[in-house]
Amino acid sequence: MTVNTSIVETADLMLARRQVRREKRKSFYSSIGQNKAAVVGGIIILLYISMTLLAPVLAPYDPYTINLQEKLQSPSFAHWMGTDDKGRDILSRILYGSRLSLGVGFSSVFFGAFFGILLGLIAGYYGKWVDTIISRSLDVMLAFPGILLALAIISALGPSLINVTIAVGVFSIPLFARIVRGSTMEVKQLEYIDAIRTLGANDFIIIFRHIFPNILSPIIVQGSMRLATAILSAAGLSFLGLGAQPPSPEWGAMLSSGRDFIFSAPYMAIFPGIMISILVLGFNLFGDGLRDALDPRMKK
Amino acid sequence: MSNDVVLEVKNLKTHFISSKGIAKAVDGVDFVLRKGETLGIVGESGCGKSMTSLSILRLIPSPPGKIVDGEVLLNGKNLVTMPNAELRKIRGNRISMIFQEPMTSLNPVIPVGEQIAEALRLHQGLSKKAAWAKSVEMIGLVGIPSPEKRAKQEPFQLSGGMRQRVMIAMALACTPEVLIADEPTTALDVTIQAQILEIMKDLQRKIGMGIIFITHDLGVVAEMCDQVAVMYAGQIVEHQNTAELFKNPLHPYTQGLIGSLPKLYEDQDELQIIEGTVPSPYDYPEGCRFAERCPFARSICSEKQPDLIQYDEESKVRCWKYTNEWQVSLTKELVTT
Amino acid sequence: MIFFILKRLMQIVPVILGVTLVVFLIMQMVPGDSAVILAGEGASKETVEELREDLGLNKPLHEQYFSYIGNIFQGDLGHSLKNNQPVLEEIMIRLPITMELAFFSILITVVLGLIAGIISAVKPYSFSDIGVMLVALLGISLPSFWLGLLLMYIFSIKLQWLPVAGWDSMAHIVLPAITLGAGGAAIVARMTRSSMLEVVGQDYIRTARAKGLKEHVIIYKHALRNALIPVITVVGLQFGGLLGGTVLVESVFAINGLGRMIVDSIRTRDIPMVQGGVLVASLVFVFVNLLVDTLYRVFNKRIDLN
């Protein structure tokens, strides 16, 4: 009898919790819809994603074919963004390059989010010495200023776009882990988690089935913000010649080669920069909007 | 008699305009305050008493708040239409305020002595030194020991009771004609509350100012006030002198409030409570705003809004019960049934 | 206060040890035999073995780490593979340049950020506010290296007001400092604005208004002081990103600072130089954070209570 009641109670608690989640989600979507910044940001991101998919259709030229006869041409009807020092069409290269720049951004954030979330869940759920060890390690990772940790990692692994992805991803781990840890500790104290445990659910089920869905929103906000920074960092590393190598049309690498022609052909550097800026702006707007939608206290 | 009037509020209306609609927080309030007199304004939270007090010095947050109608006359001069620069010379000088929350009403990063002294420099043109000396004197006057030391401290170093004393010292530093005290003791415990009230009464005798005392605590009203205005849903529903109010409350709402007080020497089975809830300021009923909760309500009450009428020489009430219409509607009902 | 600083100093010891460990371990990840790399191309087998013995590379990893730490505390960060110069010596030449750049950048971050934030907060939702906040949003979205190139193109090449690159005079500092400080300024501006708007809604601002104070006294004396407290922390956090950013900006403007040294060393695979550079930059960051914490403490004594 007592077992039955407790099962019923637990089920009630779980249902109530799910209801809360559903309502939160509903108000979240409606407030995102009302948030102009988030909508503009979202549209920018969607445009960029469709650009990566449609690059072969949209690009008027091959991004790699060298045509020295047409090198360093200013923007014209034939070449909307001009041509680079090897006579390649800059617009076509930018369209193809979107795959690399967005790809690096997304994969590095997924990489960082995956490990960060895992560490954060473990630290937040188990607490005690497990938490101490993880938290102190995260402190150490955060003690490296900006992209210097990424630089150190690349210096060991060697320059390449994949290594840039890993390096930038590692840099994101502590940021995700900290947020997840805090939220996990909050959710862990909820009454229904105890109830589920008394019913015999193991840690794995509790963590992934019951805690994780409750802490998704801060992760999503952090993800959007991190994407902006990750894209900037990856482009910066390629700009330094530590990421994508020529003739790759990665935007940071394009900027890097454009730098040598800043006197004679500034458009070589200007267009990739504009593309990066608008994309990062999109993620920042979207992230701002998400945060406002999730945390009404931040809204004024 | 009317020569003694320092502050007169006429048909004051303060509305809050937002996407949700218009909230009529203060909706036609009238009262007068005489020299040396204490007027209590009582009512439940959300009835508009704080908004009334903030409107007097035009301190309501704007937007969304706005004084849409009415006059606030200080010795005959209208504060509502006065230019900002002129109003600033009145704020903290001729009319002062004490707020409900002593914990948050003082600036946390400025020494309390300076927070008093700056008003003295501004309004009385005192030198830095003289203002500081006066500030220390005021801190001593409100009963804080070793005022020289305390003046240099920041609010976090003071207890809640001391902070409220500092607020009083600040409000009274320029010897105002009117003091508005918005629930000055609500956040404090009972013994400190009694001390603070004693200090206020004492200083009132010395300075002779009029006090508007806003509270939801009828016990404090009985102790402090000469006159009481009872507010309900943005309006004054009853205005009497204190003794009369407790002896003979006119408005059913006031009767309910007094009935809900625990009485020390009477054997009461249970406390009376007023059933129902206050109507939303966004959407007041057409008739009397208390009708829904009123045990005496008849058809006329939900049809037409009653005016605040003179009950006798000293008392006013906003209730159909005390009008001729009431008798008419009573007979009507008798006839129809 | 002294107790607080001592306590914080004690707390950063494990962080510093952790940083050295991470740097040490990352360098262990370098593919290939360290002794072969260190000996340089074309070295004989005997030389390589001798070097392995000398550097203790045949010892277990933890012993290598302890001797690495021991060396660090003696100020020995190893020698450059390129010219065999002590790493610390090179860093000591480069660090002041980077610190100078960082100082002027943080100055721009703080001054520009505060002014913009206050302009915004004084009249929220006005045209000036929306304008400033749009610029700030751009500021956090522009890649610093691109902004640098753009400024260089406009002010050095087109207008010829300022020198293109180098580090010889105050005129050389202007563009790099703006480039590096702009992003932080944008963040500080946003933070100042939201902090001010929050403070302006506080009870004590109403008290100040009820006192009859003039609006500018309320803003600058009563609101700003309180609003600045969270901004201090943000400025501190910016410093890390800023130090990392020197890497990019020094590259753009050809400034021979620490950041450029690290990048050049990565290109030439001069591992000890990279190791030393990253370590020193991180130590600087850790100590700046300690400074910011202490400042925050001084400005916000109420922390004691909470």
pLDDT tens-digit profile of A280-293? Answer: 999 998 888 888 77
Q: Which of B26, B70, B11 is nearest to B281 (CA)?
A: B26
Q: Does a structural domain hold residue A53?
A: yes
Do B105 and C206 count as a contact with CB atoms less than 8 A apart?
Answer: yes
Q: Please answer yes or no on whether C274 and A157 come within 8 Å at the CB atom.
A: no
The answer to whether position A10 is within a domain reads no
Question: Are A279 and A285 within 8 A, CB to CB?
Answer: no
Q: Report chain C residues whose CB lies below 8 A from the CB of B122.
A: 211-213
| Per-residue model confidence (pLDDT) at position C108 | 93
Q: Residue A1 has what pLDDT? A: 41
Whether A300 sits inside 8 A of C157 (CB atoms) is no
Q: Do residues B263 and B78 touch, judged by C-beta distance below 8 A?
A: no
Does C240 sit within 8 Å of A146, measured CB to CB?
yes
Do B and A make contact, counting contact as 3+ CB pairs within 8 angstroms? no
Interface contact A151-C278, CB threshold 8 A = yes
pLDDT value of residue B173:
86
What average pLDDT does this structure show over B265-277?
Answer: 61
Close Cβ partners of A151 (under 8 Å, ≥ 6 residues apart): A167, A237, A242, C247, C262, C263, C266, C274, C278
Distances (CA, A) of B181 to B65, B97, C118, C302: 21, 6, 33, 27
Q: Is A79 helix (H, G, I), strand (E, B) or coil?
A: coil
Domains along chain C?
Answer: 32-72 (no CATH), 103-256 (1.10.3720.10)
Q: Which of B88, B109, B156 sits opposite C226 (nearest CB)?
A: B109
Quote the number of domains for chain A: 1
Q: What is the pLDDT of residue A299?
A: 37
User: How far is C186 from A23, CA to CA, in rounded Å?
Assistant: 35
Q: How confident is the model at residue C303 (pLDDT cuts 50, 70, 90)?
A: very low
Instruction: Give the model's pLDDT for residue A114.
Output: 94
Q: How high is the pLDDT of residue B267?
A: 55
pLDDT (average), residues C170-196: 89
Q: Is residue A206 part of a domain?
A: yes
Answer whether A242 sits within 8 Å of C266, measured CB to CB.
Answer: yes
- Given A140, A145, A155, which is nearest C274 (Cβ)? A155
C95 touches A: beta carbon within 8 Å: no
Q: What is the pLDDT of residue A171?
A: 87
Residue pair B211/B25 in contact by the 8 Å Cβ criterion: no
Average pLDDT for A166-175: 91
Given a cut of 70, is residue A2 above it in pLDDT?
no
Flag whether A2 is in a domain: no
Share of chain A above pLDDT 70, in %: 90
pLDDT at B269 over 60: no
Task: Tell me the mean pLDDT in the region A237-258.
Answer: 86
Look at A114-128, A203-217, C98-112 and tell me which has the smallest mean pLDDT.
A203-217
Residue C105 has pLDDT above 90, yes or no: yes
The answer, yes or no, to whether residue C104 has pLDDT greater than 90, is yes
pLDDT reading at A68 higher than 90: no
Range from A100-109, B190-199, B231-240, C280-289 carrying the lowest mean pLDDT: B190-199
Q: How far is A167 from chain C (nearest CA, A)?
A: 11
Alpha-carbon distance of C4 to C295, in angstroms, equals 12
pLDDT at residue C47 above 60? yes
Cβ–Cβ below 8 Å for C18 and A140:
yes
| pLDDT above 80 for C56 | no
| C-alpha closest to that of C289 among C225, C229, C235, C231 | C235
Instruction: For residue C275, give both structure tokens.
Output: 């190791």
The yes-or-no verdict on residue A119 having pLDDT over 90 is: yes
Residue A145: its chain C contacts at CB < 8 A? 239-244, 281-282, 284-285
Tokens of B175: 């010897």
Residue A289 belongs to domain with CATH number: 1.10.3720.10
Q: What is the percentage of chain B residues whose pLDDT exceeds 70?
A: 95
State residue B21 phi and psi, 5-degree precision: 130, -160
Asked whether residue A298 carries a pLDDT value surpassing 50, the answer given is no
In a domain, A232, yes or no: yes
pLDDT for res A103: 92
Chains that touch B (3 or more CB pairs under 8 A): C
Q: Is residue A56 part of a domain?
A: yes
Kindly report the nearest CA distance between residue B297 and chain C, in angstroms.
Answer: 40
Calculate mean pLDDT across residues B291-298.
Answer: 82
Model ipTM? 0.84
Note the pLDDT tens digit of each residue in C125-160: 888 888 898 899 888 889 988 999 889 888 888 888
* Average of per-residue pLDDT across A154-170: 89
Q: What are the pLDDT digits (tens) for B131-145?
A: 999 999 989 888 888
- Among B86, B107, B166, the strongest candidate for a mutation testing the C interface, having the largest count of C CBs within 10 A, is B107
pLDDT of residue B265: 56
Q: Across chain B, what does the average pLDDT equal?
A: 84
Contact B91 C210 (CB under 8 A): yes
Which two three-digit tokens encode residue B246? Answer: 């407790």
Which of A117-121, B124-128, B323-327, C225-229 comes out lowest in average pLDDT?
B323-327
Judge whether A224 lies within some domain.
yes
| Segment A46-66 mean pLDDT | 83
For residue A194, the enclosing domain spans 24-298
In a domain, A118, yes or no: yes
Residues 57-76 of chain C whose Cβ lies under 8 A from any Cβ of chain A: none
pLDDT digits (tens, 9 = 90+) for B50-85: 889 889 988 888 778 888 888 888 888 888 888 888
Least Cα distance to A88 among A234, A258, A252, A235 occurs for A258
Residue of A144, A277, A278 lying closest to C19 (CB–CB):
A144
Give the percent of chain A with pLDDT over 90: 19
Q: In C79-101, which positions are buried (b, 16+ CB within 10 angstroms) versus exposed (e)?
A: bbbeeeebbbebbeebbebbebb
pLDDT by residue (tens digit) across B158-181?
Answer: 888 888 889 888 888 888 889 998
- Which tokens in the block code for residue C133? 């906040």
Q: Give pLDDT tens digits for C215-272.
A: 888 888 888 888 888 888 888 878 888 888 899 999 888 888 999 999 988 888 888 8
Q: Do B156 and C209 touch (CB under 8 A)?
A: no
Place of tokens 């010219």: C83
pLDDT computed for residue C236 by the predictor: 80
pLDDT of residue A297: 45
